[in-house]
Structure 1
Amino acid sequence: MRNNMIIGYTAGVYDLFHIGHLNLLKNAKGMCDKLIVGVTVDELVSYKNKKAFIPYEERIEMVRACRYVDAVVPQDNMDKLEMCKKLGASYLFVGDDWYGTEKWKNYEVEFEKNNIKIIYFPYTKGISSTRIRELLHQERGASLTDLK
C-alpha cells in the first residue's frame, strides 16, 4: 500500500446491472480509499454454462461509469486472492450469500494468512440478475436458455 491508502477489491459479472450491484459498490467504497472492481470476462462466465446477457465490453463500461468505482480490471480467472495480492488490496468485498459456506470459510483462512480481510455485505433481497432474467422470460416469453 502506498501512503497508507486502503485498497478494496470486488469482482462479479455485473450482468443486468441492478440496485444490488450498486449497493455493494457503494458500501465497499465507504470502507476503502480506492475501490478496484473486477468484471468477469465472457469466457469465464461460460465456465458455468451461462452466457452474459450484456457483452463484457459494455458491462465493464457501465461499472467504470459508477461513481463509487476508482478502477476496473478484467476478471479472467477465479483466483481472487491472487488478484488482491497483485493489486495490494487490504479487503475483498462480497455478498453475504457466500457467508458461512465451506468454500468461503477456507478462503477466509487463506486471505487472513495474507493480511487481507473478506468483508460480507448484505445481499439485496428480491433482486438478482437471475430474477431479472426470470421476469424478462415471463414478460417476453423468451426461452430461459436464450437468456442463460
Structure 2
Amino acid sequence: MDCCAPSNSTEVVKTECPTCGEKGKNVQLITLKSLLKASALEIIEPDNTYVFCSNPSCSIVYFNGNHSQSFVENDLKVPVYQKNQRADVPVCYCFDWTRERLLQVIDTDLKPADHIKAHVQAGRCGCEVNNPQGACCLGNVNAFVRGLK
C-alpha cells in the first residue's frame, strides 16, 4: 500500500486532545508500535483508537479515544516535527529531510518535494511506520519550504 495515498481502510476520526482541546487525527496502531519506546509500547491498549495531536504547544503526541491514555515526545524513539523545533528534526522521516537539510538546498535547483515524490511513486516511503503523524510528510515539507520563501 502507498503510505502517501489516501486510505479507505482506516476511517479518519477527529477527536479533541484532552490537554489542548484541538482536534487530532487518528493514527494506525502500526505507527505507535513502530515509534513508541518499549516502556510505552508495553502499556498501549491495542483495542483502542489512537489520535495524533499536532499542536506545537501541547505536550501530548498521542492519546486514545476515551482519553484514558496519552503519550508525549519522550515516549517516542524519534523527535516529533510538530513538537520539536530543532534543526536536526526530520520534516520527512522516510528520506531524512531535516529542517537543516531543507535550509541547505532552499536556494539551489534541488526541489526536495520532487525528490520525495519520486521515491513515493517508486513505492519506497513508509510514512505509517516512520512519521509520528502516521501520514505522508509532503504537506509538512511544502509548508516548511513555503515558510522560508
Normalized against structure 2, the TM-score is what?
Answer: 0.25
Q: Which has the higher contact order (CA 8 A, sep 6+)?
A: 1
Which structure has more helix as a fraction of its residues? 1
